[in-house]
Amino acid sequence: MSKGVDIADRLVRFSVRIIRLAHSLHNSTVNKHISNQLLRSGTSPGANYEEARGAESTGDFIHKLKVVLKELRESIYWLKVIEQAKIIPSDKLRDILQEAEELSNIIGRSIITAQKNQRLK
């Protein structure tokens, strides 16, 4: 399995975990808002990564990866809000937060590598 497929699969699994987490939130005005924000930011990285894989240029690829990173960072923000507001216990968020951080680091390094390669052309 190639590295790209592995990241794509991890992003799909991350999206599924976000969907399940959002679905588990109790139905209140605050939770609806948080759930909607988290669903948007947490399911977007996988779709944008797939767009990046089909990019028409290196610049387009880098731009789309930056969108992936931005959405992952926003997801981390909402997960931390959920944690600090004690909507879901910290121990139940630990794994998904760690995965979001790892994916962010991987995508961030990919952006740096792509930018270096672009400058070498």
The domain spans of the chain are 3-120
- Per-residue pLDDT averaged across 28-56, rounded? 97
CA distance readout (Å), 16 to 9, 42, 57, 91, 119:
11, 9, 30, 19, 36
In this predicted structure, the answer to whether residue 6 has a pLDDT above a threshold of 50 is yes
In this predicted structure, the answer to whether residue 65 has a pLDDT above a threshold of 80 is yes
Looking at per-residue pLDDT, the higher value among 99 and 26 belongs to 99
In this predicted structure, the answer to whether residue 121 has a pLDDT above a threshold of 80 is no
Query: Would the pTM of this model clear 0.75, i.e. be above it?
Result: yes
CA gap 81, 117 in Å, rounded: 37
Q: Which tokens go with 117?
A: 């390669």
CATH topology of domain 3-120: de novo design (two linked rop proteins) (1.20.1440)
- The helix/strand/coil state of 50 is helix
Looking at per-residue pLDDT, the higher value among 121 and 55 belongs to 55
In this predicted structure, the answer to whether residue 1 has a pLDDT above a threshold of 70 is no
Confidence of residue 98 (pLDDT cuts 50, 70, 90): very high
CA gap 71, 77 in Å, rounded: 10
Give the model's pLDDT for residue 5.
59
Q: Which tokens go with 10?
A: 């991890």
From 27, 25, 39, select the one nearest 83 (Cα to Cα): 25
